[in-house]
Amino acid sequence: MSGERNQKVKARLLKGMQDSWPELARARREMLSEIEAVCRTFGFLPLDTPVMEAREALLGAEPSAEQLANIFHFENQDKEQVGLRYDLTVPLSRLFCQNFQDIPRPFRRYQTGSVFRWDKPEPGRFREFQQFDIDTVGSASLAADAEILAVVDAIFRRLQVRNYVIRFSNRKILNALGEYCGANVQQGRDIYRVIDKLDKFDRERIRLELGPGLKDESGALIPGLGLDVDQITKIDAFLDLPNSGDANESLSAARSLFTGNQLGNEGLDEIEELISMLDAFGMRGSNWIFDLHLARGLGYYTGPVFEVTLTDLPSYGSVFGGGRYDDLVERFLGEGQGVPAVGASVGVDRLLAALTELGRIDQRRATSEVLVTVMDKSRTADYIEITSELRNAGIPAEMFLGGGNLQKQLKYADRLGIPYAVIAGSDEFEKSELSIKDLELGRRIAEQVEDRDEWKEQKQQFTISRSELVATIRERLEASR
Amino acid sequence: MSGERNQKVKARLLKGMQDSWPELARARREMLSEIEAVCRTFGFLPLDTPVMEAREALLGAEPSAEQLANIFHFENQDKEQVGLRYDLTVPLSRLFCQNFQDIPRPFRRYQTGSVFRWDKPEPGRFREFQQFDIDTVGSASLAADAEILAVVDAIFRRLQVRNYVIRFSNRKILNALGEYCGANVQQGRDIYRVIDKLDKFDRERIRLELGPGLKDESGALIPGLGLDVDQITKIDAFLDLPNSGDANESLSAARSLFTGNQLGNEGLDEIEELISMLDAFGMRGSNWIFDLHLARGLGYYTGPVFEVTLTDLPSYGSVFGGGRYDDLVERFLGEGQGVPAVGASVGVDRLLAALTELGRIDQRRATSEVLVTVMDKSRTADYIEITSELRNAGIPAEMFLGGGNLQKQLKYADRLGIPYAVIAGSDEFEKSELSIKDLELGRRIAEQVEDRDEWKEQKQQFTISRSELVATIRERLEASR
């Protein structure tokens, strides 16, 4: 498909797309590899599904114009309507239903990959981005929900993040609020959406959104749910319940409020059972909080919901979240044909950005520890041998493959962050010696990170015998770890 | 985007797409992880680019109908013509040219990801499939070519594949054939395409394709290159040169043939230099062969080319291949503005299928080593604790999260290939004991893999004290490794 002579084309990325340069690509691989290792310890299975799905699998048979505007979709050469997946949950539902008779149950899987949304691009927000999902399909047991929380907890511990909070609640509690305050079905269904805004707006604004609505800056009406004053007062009473992290206090206060409310009590029972299981998972005293107000934005949750925030980075909001969604497969199986399912999803690049800000990510671009410089092209075979010797000893190394003098070669090493350079010209070859340059030390001196007295005594460049190469580099790499 | 009530939708994969079930997804991750580890040892940098590119970046400003028919392309919401990448080389060229001033040179990167082609689906051939590429852009040094061969060699060694052959040649040699036999420019450009068919067709058929052409089964003319008898005789002489793997013999014979032919001698010089570098890379005596006839199908190669075949699986053809392509960036930089580049590409799933056939892939679906069965739901917390104890000791384990009796739970373990089950009912809890069932042994007995006398003495199920759990499982897992 190449080789034809055509007019020149501008090399550019499409709007909303990003290249992941080595620093990012490397950090992402390392983070995902840690997360996957945790999932495997919990016995979850890896799965991959295609990027492309039938449009009706993604959005149902009769998608709205708004739904269509939010995804990448087109007609393919077979005149089929197809689209690029916008999450990893819908493809899982499709796969589960497609293989309904044969799939192991419960089906516990993790998956990572690109998803695509036709969003307005913003800094840090792209139209193609990576998600990581973990789900258990086919288990109604709350142990499945607790296990997902335990996986998430283990992931943050494995990533060496200390200051995180896993907040959880149960969608049934907010759904019960509708019954409790006598809202109609539609109002009851929307209460969680308003309460989800507690982070952003004050209580007065919430009251207006529950009731008559309010005017925005332009004077246009933002319609409210239309609840009356008595109803809003009851919701206020719920929002005033103690919610400071003492689960027993919140539970018993909510029990009093929901006396006789079956759905509310079911939700609270499930929370109690969930908490007892977290204890069994060894999460007693872990960073979890029962948060009565937790809503989670998505409509499809049916039971426990949760999200994770980083206490050192509140502006990042939720970096990991999920919950139980027992009805999502209805699109494929028909209404009322639910399959119990629970899962969690993380925006990989957002979590990566957060970890970077927390200093938990190695920012170095290079994979090589040593650059073998080329001082004399006729000695190429010797330089290759030096490089191979390092590699064979397990030390990532590269020989400089470009053209240019030593200065240019060392600049290349600096740009990539390669810590050591090996320098050998005719002098060194004659004496069976090598020069080693500690580029990392040079960088620290240049940035004045190193204490002056200390670095004065250290040599940035020194000579060793040829046979000491591997031992010298290995020793210094181990010392700097 | 979910939760709306719509008519039921059939759960199906699009034609030509595949789900990668856990056995495959797991094996692929493990294989890629080994390949990536090798690339890092050689100092190559990871890179990721978007799945979607501007159509003109993929196919140039004026693509032919045939080119368009071979890729996935569409107009997006911004009325831009876009397409899904069909390889990982074009996006690399686009990225390199887009960042022409700033990119480190040479730029040595590896990349893996999905590519998309509108091919006719066949067994094992999909419209979305994984590629793994490694390239060095910006180095004209033959050491870069030799290094790619060394990486490929190291990859096969790391994958514990013994019987492979790396065949290489130089496109310049086949291009020189045109001059040598006095072909015109167009004929000269096409000779390599005909010689590329030596695997499939006999010499007589090759002669017809070089000359007047031939009729296919339906009687339609397959046009030939139109070379005359004298010219074809000269090509025959080339094809008759010794080519049995003795590089020195082939080189000196080709030198005689190409006396005075500058391009031919340049190609042969490069081969000699390449071979001397392979020696320096420690590949002396490795599985490489200089193969004068090697053509490689793609038009864009300009220098050394190579491919890898598995001697135990000749039907798989080339499982890894590549070469030097110094002109590929011309689309973005303009004609004559070449950038030296060399690389290799592997069809991940094809290599995986080959490794599976060679028995080099762990076919097990499970990631858990132990299934903790649930005999008494009121004891859930105890089962969770048993499971957590195993996990905390680094032994992947899961508690059964579905419903059903012991038989059903063990069937689940068998389907996934989990080797051990822990069984604990009220009896066991009372005595602080656990039953362990060796499911793997059970499977081997059922399949009569185990020698009867030996397994008779072994117990498939036995009781241990609760405190011996981790030690017992660990010991047995280590013994079976």
> Exposed, middle or buried by CB within 10 Å (0-12, 13-18, 19+), for A165?
middle
Give A-chain residues touching B60 at CB under 8 angstroms.
4, 6-7, 9
Q: Which two tokens stand for residue B148?
A: 């790619």
Structural domain boundaries enclosing A461: 370-479
Among A residues 122-141, those touching chain B with beta carbons less than 8 Å apart? 128, 136, 138-141
Residues of chain A with pLDDT under 50: 1-4
Q: Would you tell me how many other CB atoms lie within 10 Å of the CB of residue B459?
A: 12
- How far is the C-alpha of B442 from the C-alpha of B457, rounded, in Å? 13
Q: Which one, of A209, A145, A189, A167, lies nearest residue A294 by Cα? A: A167
Q: Which two tokens stand for residue A16?
A: 């909303």
Q: Which two tokens stand for residue A323?
A: 């919950």
- How far is the C-alpha of B54 from the C-alpha of B73, rounded, in Å? 9
Residue B76 neighbours by CB under 8 Å, 6+ apart: A14, A72, A118, B82
Taking the CA atoms of A239, A245, A249 and A255 in sequence, report the sign of the dihedral they define: positive
On whether the CB atoms of residues B166 and B281 are closer than 8 A, the answer is no
On whether the CB atoms of residues B147 and A401 are closer than 8 A, the answer is yes
- How far is the C-alpha of B73 from the C-alpha of A76, rounded, in Å? 8
Supply the pLDDT for residue A165. Answer: 95
Give A-chain residues touching B2 at CB under 8 angstroms.
90, 298-300, 328
* Tally of domains in chain B: 2
DSSP H helices, A322-418, are 330-333, 348-357, 380-392, 406-416
SS3 assignment, position A11: coil
- pLDDT tens digit at each of 481 positions of chain B: 444 455 889 999 999 999 999 999 999 999 999 999 999 999 999 999 999 999 999 999 999 999 999 999 999 999 999 999 999 999 999 999 999 999 999 999 999 999 999 999 988 889 999 999 999 999 999 999 999 999 999 999 999 998 999 999 999 999 999 999 999 888 888 888 899 888 889 999 999 999 999 998 898 988 999 999 999 999 999 999 999 889 999 999 999 999 999 999 999 999 999 999 999 999 877 799 999 999 887 778 999 999 999 999 998 889 999 999 988 888 899 888 889 999 999 989 999 999 999 988 877 788 999 999 999 999 999 999 999 999 999 999 999 999 999 999 999 999 999 999 999 999 999 999 999 999 998 888 887 765 655 555 567 899 999 999 999 999 999 998 7
| Segment (H or E) for A274 | helix A262-278
DSSP A124-180: TB-SEEEEEEEEEES---HHHHHHHHHHHHHHHHHTT--SEEEEEEEHHHHHHHHHH
Please name every residue paired with A110 in a beta bridge, in sequence order, or none if there are none: A46, A134
SS (H, E, C) A276-341: HHHHHHHHCCCCEEECCCCCCCCCCCCCEEEEEEECCCHHHCEEEEEEECCCCCHHHHCCCCCCCE
ipTM of the complex: 0.90
Residue of B nearest to A76 (CA): B72
B420-423 vs B433-438, strand pairing mode:
antiparallel
Of A4, A29, A412, the CB nearest to B46: A29
B158 with B247, same domain? yes
**pLDDT, tens only, A365-390:** 889 999 999 999 999 999 999 999 99
Supply the pLDDT for residue A69. Answer: 95
> Which CATH number fits the domain that encloses residue A408?
3.40.50.800
Supply the pLDDT for residue A450. Answer: 58
Give A-chain residues touching B367 at CB under 8 angstroms.
39-40, 43-46
Residue A363 lies in a domain: no
Q: How far is A117 from chain B (nearest CA, A)?
A: 11
Supply the pLDDT for residue B452. Answer: 59
**Residues A260-285, buried b or exposed e (16+ Cβ, 10 A)?**
ebebbbbbbebbebbbebbebbbbee
Q: Which two tokens stand for residue A459?
A: 């040599």
- Size of the A and B interface in Cβ pairs below 8 Å: 339
Of B29, B77, B100, the CB nearest to A46: B29
A391 with A469, same domain? yes
Of B78, B146, B401, the CB nearest to A139: B401
Supply the pLDDT for residue A202. Answer: 92
Which amino acid is present at A165? V
On whether the CB atoms of residues A257 and A237 are closer than 8 A, the answer is yes
With an 8 Å Cβ cutoff, is B143 touching chain A?
yes
With an 8 Å Cβ cutoff, is B182 touching chain A?
no
Supply the pLDDT for residue A363. Answer: 75
Residue B329 lies in a domain: yes
B81-84 vs B52-54, strand pairing mode:
antiparallel
Distances (CA, A) of B416 to B13, B370, B439: 23, 11, 11
Residue A16 lies in a domain: no
Residue that is written with structure tokens 């089964």 in the block: B217
Residues A412, A417, A419, A421: what is their CA dihedral angle, to the nearest 10 degrees? -10
A107-116 vs A45-46, strand pairing mode:
parallel
Q: Which two tokens stand for residue A318?
A: 């939720």
B96 with B198, same domain? yes
Q: Which two tokens stand for residue B66?
A: 């045939």
B276 with B127, same domain? yes
With an 8 Å Cβ cutoff, is B95 touching chain A?
yes
Supply the pLDDT for residue B369. Answer: 96
Residue A31 neighbours by CB under 8 Å, 6+ apart: A159, A348, A351, A352, A355, A361
- How far is the C-alpha of A261 from the C-alpha of A176, rounded, in Å? 7
Give B-chain residues touching A384 at CB under 8 angstroms.
143, 146, 277, 280-281
Residue B6 lies in a domain: no
B374 with B301, same domain? no
Q: Would you tell me how many other CB atoms lie within 10 Å of the CB of residue A296?
A: 21
SS (H, E, C) chain B: CCCCCCCCCCCCCCCCCCCECHHHHHHHHHHHHHHHHHHHHCCCEECECCCEEEHHHHHCCCCCHHHHHCCCEEECCCCCEEEECCCCHHHHHHHHHHCCCCCCCCEEEEEEEEEECCCCCECCECCEEEEEEEEEECCCCHHHHHHHHHHHHHHHHHCCCCCEEEEEEEHHHHHHHHHHHCCCHHHHHHHHHHHHHHHCCCHHHHHHHHCCEEECCCCCEEECCCCCHHHHHHHHHHHCCCCCCCHHHHHHHHHHHCCCCHHHHHHHHHHHHHHHHHHHHHHCCCCEEECCCCCCCCCCCCCEEEEEEECCCHHHCEEEEEEECCCCCHHHHCCCCCCCEEEEEEEHHHHHHHHHHCCCCCCCCCCCCEEECCCCHHHHHHHHHHHHHHHHCCCCEEECCCCCCHHHHHHHHHHHCCCEEEECCHHHHHHCEEEEEEHHHHHHHHCCCCCHHHHHHCCCEEEEEHHHHHHHHHHHHHHCC
B383 with B444, same domain? yes
Of A47, A52, A368, the CB nearest to B14: A52
SS3 assignment, position A370: strand
A475 with A332, same domain? no
Which amino acid is present at B391? R
Q: State whether B384 and A277 contact (CB < 8 Å).
A: yes
A397-399 vs A370-372, strand pairing mode:
parallel
Backbone φ and ψ for B60, nearest 5 degrees, come out as 85, 175
DSSP A116: E
With an 8 Å Cβ cutoff, is B3 touching chain A?
yes
Distances (CA, A) of B448 to A244, B301, B412, B444, B455: 61, 53, 21, 6, 10
Residue that is written with structure tokens 């283990």 in the block: A154
DSSP A379: G
Q: What is the pTM of this model?
A: 0.91
Supply the pLDDT for residue A2. Answer: 45
Which of A325, A357, A389 is at the close of a domain?
Answer: A357
With an 8 Å Cβ cutoff, is B75 touching chain A?
yes
Residue A462 neighbours by CB under 8 Å, 6+ apart: A435, A436
Supply the pLDDT for residue B192. Answer: 86
Q: How far apart are the first and last CA of chain B?
A: 47
Which of A302, A323, A357 is at the close of a domain?
Answer: A357
Which amino acid is present at B33? S
Which amino acid is present at B65? A
Supply the pLDDT for residue A128. Answer: 97
Residue of B nearest to A82 (CA): B14
> Which CATH number fits the domain that encloses residue B249?
3.30.930.10
Which of A333, A357, A381 is at the close of a domain?
Answer: A357
With an 8 Å Cβ cutoff, is A34 touching chain B?
no
Residue of B nearest to A139 (CA): B402
- How far is the C-alpha of A72 from the C-alpha of B408, rounded, in Å? 42
Give B-chain residues touching A92 at CB under 8 angstroms.
none
Residue B17 lies in a domain: no
A353 with A403, same domain? no
A330 with A437, same domain? no
Residue B365 lies in a domain: no
Among B residues 238-297, those touching chain A with beta carbons less than 8 Å apart? 276-277, 279-282
With an 8 Å Cβ cutoff, is B174 touching chain A?
no
B69 with B181, same domain? yes
Of A56, A80, A141, the CB nearest to B401: A141
On whether the CB atoms of residues A39 and B69 are closer than 8 A, the answer is no
Give A-chain residues touching B150 at CB under 8 angstroms.
388
Q: Which two tokens stand for residue A216?
A: 């925005």
Residue B13 lies in a domain: no
Q: How many CA atoms lie within 13 A of A401 on its CB side?
A: 28
Of A43, A300, A367, the CB nearest to B44: A367
Residue A218 lies in a domain: no
- How far is the C-alpha of B370 from the C-alpha of B413, rounded, in Å? 9
- How far is the C-alpha of A58 from the C-alpha of A82, rounded, in Å? 9
Q: Which of B44, B47, B52, B325 to mutate to test the interface with A (most CBs of A within 10 A)?
A: B52
A288 with A347, same domain? yes
On whether the CB atoms of residues B53 and B150 are closer than 8 A, the answer is no
- How far is the C-alpha of B465 from the C-alpha of B471, rounded, in Å? 11
Supply the pLDDT for residue B200. Answer: 87
Residue of A nearest to B139 (CA): A402
SS3 assignment, position A98: helix
With an 8 Å Cβ cutoff, is A185 touching chain B?
no
A153 with A128, same domain? yes
